[in-house]
Structure 1
Amino acid sequence: MGFSKSSSLSLSLLFLTIFTILIPLSTPADLYTLIYKGCSKQNSQDYTFQQTLTTLFNSLISQSSTSHFFKTTAGGGRNSISGLFQCRGDISNADCNNCVKMIPQMASTLCGQAIAGRIHLTGCYMVYQTSDFPQGSGTDLLYKICSSKGANFENKRDTAFGNLETGIAGGSGYYATTYDSVYVTAQCEGDLSVSDCGECVKEAVQRAEVECGNSVAGQVYLNRCYMNYGYYTNGGGLSSGSGQQTGKTVAIVVGGAAALGFAVIFLLFLRSLGRKRDDY
């Protein structure tokens, strides 16, 4: 399946507004912490919109206790709303279900009557859009965050990136690995073919190389895949970075914080090493 087909649930960056918040280091609730959100600027004036959206959310939540990915449509014709959820490949079904349950209320608060939205938490994300919402490319850059700059680790990073591209090509849709203190993870949307997944992650890696340069950690989110990386030495932590909007989006900083706790992602990564799940 190619990225440009109209059946994909990608969101047009032209209509998205993205913001970031600081992730606190605490409990498993970190899985449910907001990374970014995107809402269309166009709102629905149809009185049946909220009812259809609620039906969609309920359907997605019901599937999240047994699956890490599900896509469906609620309503019919021009009033239909398509949506999907995706959970991290290294979390349990129970955590996946709890994560997905968090999103509908957040979507209502953050996006209101917007005809399309994407809510991305640390452990899961959800996308929804009406049938007439414009489609975008699967490799559109939605959001990035880069940490402070480092030195003398690019060769290690590049080797880790190469291992990531090889690993994701194995077809699991989720892959996490480490090379000489550099950890990397990537995940593709659940219905991407193996080849499209590999191409999407390859694009995300290239974006990380260009956008983040010699930052010691970074996160890159495309429409249908994302990747994270970080460099740790002597057990030390990583500095936070600044999230940046892409394309014609607008950044909104919450509470003056434009930083993300990379340590959260790293701790989740450590938990995932050695695990292999068939569902993602």
Structure 2
Amino acid sequence: MKSLAEALSFSSVMCYLLTSSFFFFFPHPSYSALESFIYAGCTQFKYNDGSPFETNLNSVLTSIANSASLSNFNNFKISLPGSTDSDIVYGLFQCRGDLTSSDCHNCITHAVSQLGKICIDTSGGALQLEGCYVKYDNVSFLGAVDKTVVLKKCGSSSGYDSDFLTRRDAVQAYLTGAGQYFRVGGSGKVQGMAQCIQDLSMSQCQDCLSEAIQQLKNECGSSSWGDMFLAKCYARYSVRGVSSDGGKQFRRRGWWFMICGFIFSFIYVMLC
């Protein structure tokens, strides 16, 4: 079977009106900071109700929700008695590095609930919220390096502002060399944040973040803010908070990606 990184579908009610193979993105809603939607994706492959795979998946998601009250990261491989190799479910979660245990648990609980509404009966799914990330799949992705660009967004150009550019470059240099899984830094009006999924080694994390930050430089230039989410890490910077714009669509490695506008944000809020 193909993995989540090979075939994705938009599987909420609205998706069937559009396509069956979308990886979709929403702007950040303002109703809840930590639970703001950043992106999600689902495989196009379905599992059968009542199957051993469904039992294993439920066990993974329950383990994720329970574990989030104890740590900000964990990963799982579950194959209950009676399962075959194709029924194995791999999963992980991670919270942003500055969250309290309570905030982490609340964010993950919400993410697990929403993932079930977005990826209906699919064999793989991923959901990135502002404060946390959850992913599961029937093909192992644990410990695997993946620098696929999942989401990139850039703000409007700030024009030539030497102070801004100097401070932005300083923040990005700090994020590149900080040597932690979660990194934050600032210089004057410019702030930055970066994080790796903790199933990577530190050297793999460093490599992933170096790529993300280089992509930010290449893609966002003099933009006043930028987001670069790779499959296993992200880097962000802003002057006065991160915003979004929509309308861009592209295809890469067999996936469809879309950065959507207000209507999709509205649909997501209605699902919550």
What TM-score, normalized by structure 1, do the two folds share? 0.77
The residue identity in structure 2 corresponding to 1:92 is: T
- Aligned partner of 1:3 in structure 2 is none
Relative contact order, CA 8 A, sep 6+: which one is greater?
1
1:51 to 55, 59, 68: 55
Change (3 A) 1:11 1:240: same
**Superposed displacement of residue 252, structure 1:** 6.2
Checking the alignment, whether the CA contact within 8 Å between 2:95 and 2:131 is kept in structure 1 is yes
Tell me the residue number matched to 2:158.
150
Alignment of 1:139-218 (within 5 A): 139-151=147-159, 152=161, 153-167=164-178, 169=179, 172-218=180-226
Asked if the contact 1:188/1:197 (under 8 Å) is kept, the reply is yes
Match status 1:15 vs 2:8:
yes
Could you list the per-position Cα deviations for residues 222-266 of structure 1 after superposition, in whole angstroms to 9, with x for gaps in the alignment?
11111110124xxxx6664337555232316354368xxxxxxxx
Q: Which amino acid in 2 is paired with 1:36?
A: Y
| Counterpart for residue 261 of structure 1 | none
Residue of structure 2 equivalent to 1:78: 86
* C-alpha distance after superposition, 1:197-226 (max 9, x if no partner): 111111000111122222111111111111
Q: What secondary structure sits across from 1:32 in the alignment?
A: coil
Q: TM-score, normalised by structure 2?
A: 0.79
Q: 2:35 aligns with which of 32, 49, 73?
A: 32
Instruction: Check conservation: 2:48, 2:54, Cα contact below 8 A.
Output: no
Q: CA deviation at 1:18?
A: 2.6
> CA 1:244 to 1:99, structure 2 compared with 1: closer, same or farther past 3 Å?
farther
User: By how many angstroms is 1:194 displaced?
Assistant: 1.5
CA distance in 2, matches of 1:100, 1:164: 25
- Structure 1: runs of 5 or more not aligned: 1-9, 259-280
CA RMSD between the two structures? 2.5
What is residue 14 of structure 2 aligned with on the other side? none
- Residue 178 of structure 1: how far off its partner (Å): 0.2
CA 238–142 in structure 1, closer or farther in 2 if over 3 Å, else same: closer
Question: 91, 113, 118: which is aligned to 1:110?
Answer: 118
Count matched residues.
239
Show structure 1 runs of 4+ deviating over 4 A: 243-246
Identify unmatched segments of 5+ residues in structure 2.
Answer: 10-21, 266-272
CA contact (8 A) 1:147 1:215 kept: yes
Q: What does residue 249 of structure 1 align with?
A: 256
